[in-house]
Chain A
Amino acid sequence: MTKVFFIILQLILFLLAAPLLSGLISKVKNNIRMRRGQSIFQPYYNLVKLFSKEEVVSGDSSWIFKVTPFIVFSSMLTAAILIPVFIFSPMHQMGDFLSLIFIFALGRFFMALAALDTGSSFGGMGASREMFISSLVEPAFCLVVFCVFLQFGSTDIAVFSGVHPVSICSFITAIVLFMVTLAETSRIPVDNQETHLELTMVHEAMVLEYSGRSLALIEWSSYIKQMILFFLIAQIVFPVNFSGLWILWYFVWIIIIVIAVAVVEVFVAKMRLFRVADFLGFAFVLGVIAVVCAILGV
């Protein structure tokens, strides 16, 4: 019974705290640029605004367009209860690291379908770019999984919390996961969240047709995805063993990751689309090094 309570608590945490991280990132970014910037609660205001707005749906769209926001949102919530935050293994043996990747892929697949569904030119462009990037992201992400598997003998996410000392291998894995996170959450070297310029946008082009409540759901699920990936990085670099002040450690690590993402966003220029292949190829090679380190046991 306590387990159910903790799972519900975890869901509520992810639902409520995920937009805060985005607000925090933009605040840190603006502080680095010597600007005052928007409030860190701005994502919440945006969500409230979008929820209270009327929705416009293209007449040519099919049921896929209407159903996609819910699929994306629920897949992200499913992913959110798979990772251990409050208790050791929330969904014991039901979900592991690989299933997390495929749950992400499910959401992305429906997003691409919905972007193609309305037949607008931007949607198709965004979908094709997103698929290009995700096909490059997935090998690196899978190597992270293999690395975890080689180190701990299981791909269950709960296994690698609380058992291992910090090693070079886990450090490299965390860097690979960081690069993957930048690509997955459409952060700057790969994609730019802030612009609506048709040359640069990937994720924004896909959701261009959405408005009102559906857009709010999609935005919210992308915040949750970002938070899940941050928690995974924190888990791999600093495994918590669920005793004492582990919540505090989580907090510290998430703050560090937020600052790292903000610094990368400020100081790195956005790449051309075809340079993204080099960026993610580098992540892949780092992943191979991590696997070799896992085999060597360093």
Chain B
Amino acid sequence: MNIIYTDNLIIGGGLAGLRVAIAAKQRGYESIILSLMPAKRSHSAAAQGGMQASLGACIKGEGDDEDVHFADTVKGSDWGCDQDVARMFVNTAPKAIRQLSAWGVPWSRVRGGDHDVVINGEKVTITEHNESHGLITARDFGGTKKWRTCYTSDGTGHTMLYTMDNKAIQMDIPVHERKEAIALIHEDGVCHGAVVRDLITGELIAYVVKTTTIATGGYGRLYAVSTNAVISEGIGTAIALETGVATLGNMEAVQFHPTAIVPVGILTTEGCRGDGGLLLDKDGYRFMPDYEPDKKELASRDVVSRRMTEHMRKGKGVSSRYGDHLWLDITLLGRDHIEKNLREVKEICEYFLGIDPVKEYIPVRPTQHYSMGGVRTNATGESLTLKGLFSAGEAACWDMHGFNRLGGNSVAETVVAGMLVGEYVADYCAANSLKVSTSTIEHFVKREEGKIADLLTRDYGENPFQLKAEMQKIMMDKVGIFRNGEDLAQAVEELKLLNQRAKKIALRNRISSSNPELVEAIRVPKMIKLAQCVAYGAQLRTESRGAHAREDFPERNDRDWLKRTLTTWKDEDSDLPEVTYEDLDIMKMEMPPGSRGYGVDNTVHHPDTEKRIAEIEEIKTANPTADRHEMQELLNPLDIPEKFKGKNERIGRGYK
């Protein structure tokens, strides 16, 4: 048996995983990063639009700071997020982006003087301060009060990922490519690493470590049409679930992005709308102002996606052989802007649609995009129930996004969570030694060997590709953008059956090395379990919050549902996961629940909301001279690694 020992195993070579490994290495701890592919091919590369950080350097970002970013993030989450985490995040994001700048990301910069931009469908001239010239600039994104999304053209994820991977290479951090973690090794509530399968040779290897970090991204591929890369199948999240010990959080919170192209679901960045693009219906009519007069195309993603779906249901969609869609019009931005700032979008339109977005409209519709749910962790990124297991990035429910993530907060989360969680991973390494019996390691390796042997020897059974397609269709049709009790009940039942069928997969190609069918056969039962967590969680949550929209329960019900869903799968043979809940404590919230400002506010309020509002007023009255930093300390004192505690400087206001 091949056993590899090191300090940290990082599962996933995207931005979050790389950043955790870098943080640990800076503290003197060794990591090995596992990646299905070269790290630079990770889904992080696909993030086009940008990273939110409240630098406030460009004129439309003036006045921005951590507090504004915090408020946007909490509102965006529909009060479902962990406000401590959101605070840690907004305070650290400016440092993260400046660090990335020093490491080489060519962030687009402020150019002093006059510029023509498109705002609300009209050309206007804005004038950037000359003293801001050369600082990192930002663009507009949905659900934000200020222009806060920093970018490099529309290749932000690419430049961030390449910089991060190169930094890891500079630091001699090994990436073990084409390897997949298929089970976690654990004993007595402590995680000791993973059983890993070499995707080329088929060999099973035990990685035995002090800490294991799951940074495998989202589970978008549970859905038939997704903007996610084909590797975003949630396997890291699933192996945490399969421990029966670790919990998953808010799995039913699945975001749809308003503007993926039809039919293939490839994303066109929110930057299209941020930069002034409009949504039009079959009559060429701009409908968003009718629904959201205030924010229009730049309402939060969940809101825009639902409004688009509503509008298409009214018969206003453009019919096509792939079903209805709407138009994204960026022609008004002009060729120069598109070729410079929306170049990937232009390429995607040319290659996949054969159109020129400088002159033609882009066919778009809401498509599965982001997984707010994932491995439930506390603010340090560690599982609450399985020690030594950490998670960061989209794979985690950390949980700064609650029930809806704001555009630009995703790549920002990867690097910020990587910085913070990486420190806690290092702390864990410092405080704990590796104690695991070899019989435990053997037990897990043998168990996985046995499962694979079964797959390779079963003569007759289910086809994994077919099971996956059936699951994806159920999720798309019944656990989609609008949900209802009847569809969800059906989905839960149908997925249960799929789960049973998935126990009897048989292969046509029976070799253990480089065998894509075997890879699928290992993954699909895990994916079905995750799908069950999503569908069952959605069925039980009888309210609408953020991206979770129940037609039969349209109100946000803080009274009964201001809580995080926790899912475990304790008994391998059971047909359903176990669902419990974790209350969000309003009395500790810096920002008690309120209206997000979209449509009619039909929130069912929690009795603590008024109490907390009154308490906050009292604190404010009692401390009339406190500045915003002191006030934040009073309202929500933070435990954050010392090195990230400093105040962030901004042009024109210093550290205030």
Do these two chains interact?
A: no
